[in-house]
Amino acid sequence: MLVDSGTTSTYLPDITFNKLKGEIRYVIGTTLKEHISSRQGELCYRGTISQDLKNFPTIAFHFVEENAILKFDAQNLFRQDETDYFCLSVVQSTDSDRLSQKHIRYLDTTILLYRL
């Protein structure tokens, strides 16, 4: 697993991305209106992360092979693109190299612990 704190997005394989996107849509439900993004397949909502996602649950990615768990809150999982809408910072991987590397976007507020 590669954790890249400088990447703009987290890249996931199609099946994982679609499952995550579906679960987020289920959790948010009709409380927020989706925003149509100019980027195909991107999940965006009208509003602000700090106000509209206060009660959004933490999501954990479990990487079995690496015996690692990375937890994402709303601030790590979404990005505020404009003042009136935000988008999921997880995207479908279209590059086969990225599938094997599992690029993960993690913000400055994250502390990474390693067991050696």
| 3-class secondary-structure state, position 58 | coil
CATH of 10-101, one of 2.40.70.10, 3.40.50.150, 3.40.50.300, 3.40.50.1580: 2.40.70.10
More confident residue, 47 or 93: 47
CB crowding 49-78: b at 16 or more within 10 Å, else e? beebbeebeebebeeeeeebebebbbebbb
Distance between CA atoms of residues 114 and 58, nearest Å: 21
**Which two tokens mark 9?**
């997005």
**pLDDT value for 15:** 86
Rg from Cα positions in the chain = 14
pLDDT of residue 8: 67
pTM for the model: 0.74
